Structure 1
């Protein structure tokens, strides 16, 4: 869904670039317009959050400070994480590659997630191990 008019595209692009830099510098959040963000997403305690442009974030997710959601390899720039609905990401967590985090899952603080996490599970540690919650 792009802006077709060349006369509108230029000023809107400049406005977006200014807003992106302002948000990055003031709040410490890099959230490109190409990532898909669901409704009710909460970014708590802003600062140091980097989200790759191909990332998909579902509804009602909570992302805490110093989290990174990105790619593992530079030759696969579309392999970004997918967070389903109601996912909680702890402070300092890193989720890399084409990883799917199931609905209602939780990622512990400072965990490094490199594999899929099933729905309702808990991923903790470096590298993250998955534990089922009851």
Structure 2
């Protein structure tokens, strides 16, 4: 992706629009029904969803309205978000995989539109994706500025250099910290208050690597360049300082293995404690 120049973006009218999109169709249908049920919200739903022609533009509008301040203008943010999302098919796929994860796996998320409009876990994750794109194309100051606003608004601190896969669920999100060299693979669930942190002042790869489908419980602290294996569970409140084997459950301070999993996909089942010895 070319380096972003916000002064030359305009309305991004030259981008290629996505094709048929069942998720977007569902979101617009949900918004129309909600507008009928709650007429007082009709203007809000029109501005946030129904006035847009795709998920990317609606998401850019929602995020810009949440993150702008007196010096980081809403129109500038919308240009940045639209450029990042509309010019990257991989980004577009991740946005949809993420919202599907919230819809399927968060029992408090009754519809796609709820995730788009109200869930700060989804908002902070997609805003991180924009910051990550900026970081990768060398616009590190802009990426860090966006990271700072995400932290201020949603209390979610994800370094823009961290690598996060698709279909990730940040349930609640509040207090989440993900360090610079952390890696989170596809379909992981991270609950509120999770820390993927480093230890000491060493440079290089110094943060955790979380395997596909792992589930990290609320308040868990995982420190150092260690691996949480595929499909593993870290119980709430645990302190993890050593590698966690795939499809195992650890708990405690310091965390120890307490069993193997009955289910091989804990981030999807959302069962935090299903183990067998």
Please classify the TM superposition score into its range, dividing by the shorter chain length.
0.7 to 0.9
**Does the CA-based 8 Å contact 2:144-2:160 persist in structure 1?**
no
Q: In structure 1, which of residues 122, 125, 131 is the aligned counterpart of residue 249 of structure 2?
A: 122
- Structure with bigger helix share is 2
Query: Which residue of 2 is the match for residue 44 of structure 1?
Result: 171
From 48, 69, 74, the equivalent of 2:201 is: 74
> How far, CA to CA, are the matches of 1:13 and 1:114 in structure 2?
30
Is residue 114–residue 128 contact of structure 1 (8 Å, CA) maintained in 2? yes
The answer for unaligned runs of 5 or more in structure 1 is none
Superposition TM-score, scaled by structure 1 size: 0.86
Say if 1:120 and 1:132, in contact at 8 Å, map to a contact too. no
User: TM-score, normalised to structure 2's length?
Assistant: 0.44
For residue 33 of structure 1, the aligned residue among 116, 139, 160 is 160
- The Cα of 1:46 is off from its aligned counterpart by 1.8
Segment drifting more, 25-34 vs 113-122: 25-34
1:4 and 1:15 mapped to 2: Cα distance?
10
Contact 1:101–1:117 (CA<8 Å) still a contact in 2? yes
Give the secondary structure class of the aligned counterpart of 2:250: strand
Kindly name which structure, 1 or 2, has the bigger radius of gyration based on alpha carbons.
2
Q: Matched residue pairs, number?
A: 131
Question: Counterpart of 1:19 in 2: which secondary structure?
Answer: helix
Are residues 1:16 and 2:138 paired?
Answer: no
Comparing 76-85 and 22-31, the one that deviates more: 76-85
| More strand as a share of residues | 1
- How far, CA to CA, are the matches of 1:73 and 1:130 in structure 2? 25
Moved more, 49-58 or 68-77: 68-77
1:53 to 180, 201, 211: 180
